[in-house]
């Protein structure tokens, strides 16, 4: 496969995954912002949404304050934000057009129809929670439809493997960021661990990654920060966990190495991170610092993305 085609497939999958993640972040922030003041605490959930998306510096270049209106406009529609939902869908469709023959009909229809339907939505029309909910459901359903189409209709060859690499690199980064922001932005200093605010924030985060029901299935007890972190970092059964993402990354990189007849830095880097996650224990993670662990992971994940680009996409 041409490196240009592989690059387009890789980034097409990343941008669709990113758009869905942003919709989930906006949904979680809306839920927390709507809590009664007795539960909501003093934190600004909209500031945390921008921080979780990883674009706070760019946001404050364009807006003075993080409010419901400004954050939704920036994360969903702003052309000045290269990672807004609109920008993600636009770049994804452009990439899809470039590799139209490498996509199945279902995959192309999912991203093309989403781009056309996106024109129906404007930030000014999403002032009510019901209207916003309809828009966010549309974005999430697009991600699920595209991902499901790829899984169910793509030939298991290098095109599919590059697409899955894009999904998993992006998903791992997103899960890590939402965990990191919870510990360093969301929870006010005055709020004790286990308080009402803490419970509702962890619940919202689990909902944001569709893991609230999974948490209760696995641990069968009330929400505890270390168990939430264990689920989202180390539990292979949880599809959005860091461990599950890296199991998939190692598997798909190994498939590429078998198809192309050689391994390289990307395979070695992925296996090293996977081994680190397999050997980690959540008690040790908390003892050494969750922020430090997650920060190191994000840096390692970015280096893997760069290694994949250097090895296959340039």
Alpha helix positions (H), the chain: 3-33, 37-40, 45-53, 56-62, 68-72, 85-98, 105-118, 129-153, 158-181, 196-208, 212-219, 225-233, 242-260, 265-279, 282-288, 290-308
In this model, does residue 183 exceed pLDDT 90? no
Average pLDDT over the chain reads 90
Summarised one tens digit per residue, pLDDT across range 259-290 is: 999 999 999 999 999 999 999 999 999 888 88
Q: Which residue has the tokens 């190692």?
A: 250
In this model, does residue 108 exceed pLDDT 70? yes
What pTM was computed for the model? 0.91
Structure-model confidence comparison of residues 183 and 55, the more confident one: 55
**Structure confidence at residue 179 (pLDDT):** 85
Q: What is the mean pLDDT of residues 181-205?
A: 62
Structure-model confidence comparison of residues 186 and 230, the more confident one: 230
In this model, does residue 301 exceed pLDDT 60? yes
Whole-number Cα distances in Å, 290 to 7, 282, 295: 33, 9, 8
Structure-model confidence comparison of residues 214 and 37, the more confident one: 214
Q: How far apart are CA 64 and CA 66, in angstroms?
A: 7
In this model, does residue 86 exceed pLDDT 60? yes
Instruction: Read off the pLDDT band of 190 (50, 70, 90).
Output: very low
In this model, does residue 56 exceed pLDDT 50? yes
Share of the chain above pLDDT 70, in %: 92
């Amino acid at each position: 496969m041409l490196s240009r085609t592989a690059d387009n497939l890789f980034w097409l999958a990343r941008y669709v995954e990113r758009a869905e993640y942003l919709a989930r972040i906006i949904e979680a922030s809306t839920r927390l912002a709507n809590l009664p003041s007795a539960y909501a605490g003093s934190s600004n959930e909209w500031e945390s949404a921008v921080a979780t998306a990883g674009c706070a510096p760019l946001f404050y270049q364009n807006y003075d304050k993080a409010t419901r209106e400004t954050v939704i406009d920036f994360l969903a529609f702003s052309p000045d934000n290269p990672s807004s939902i609109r920008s993600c869908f636009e770049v994804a469709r452009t990439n899809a057009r470039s590799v139209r023959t490498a996509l199945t009909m279902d995959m192309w229809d999912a991203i093309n129809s989403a781009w056309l339907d996106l024109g129906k939505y404007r930030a000014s029309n999403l002032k009510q929670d019901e209207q916003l909910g309809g828009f966010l459901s549309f974005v999430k359903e697009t991600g699920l439809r595209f991902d499901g189409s790829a899984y169910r209709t793509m030939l298991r060859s290098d095109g599919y493997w590059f697409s899955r690499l894009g999904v998993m690199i992006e998903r791992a980064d997103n899960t890590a960021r939402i965990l990191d922001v919870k510990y360093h932005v969301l929870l006010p200093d005055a709020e004790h661990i286990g308080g009402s605010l803490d419970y509702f924030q962890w619940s919202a985060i689990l909902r944001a990654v569709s893991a609230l029901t999974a948490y209760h299935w696995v641990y069968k007890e009330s929400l505890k920060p270390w168990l939430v972190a264990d689920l989202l970092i180390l539990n292979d059964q949880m599809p959005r966990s860091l461990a599950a993402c890296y199991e998939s990354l190692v598997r798909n990189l190994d498939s590429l190495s078998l198809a192309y007849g050689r391994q390289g830095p990307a395979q070695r880097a992925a296996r090293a991170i996977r081994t680190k996650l397999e050997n980690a224990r959540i008690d040790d993670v908390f003892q050494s610092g969750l922020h430090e662990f997650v920060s190191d992971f994000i840096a390692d994940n970015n280096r893997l993305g760069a290694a994949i680009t250097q090895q296959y996409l340039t």
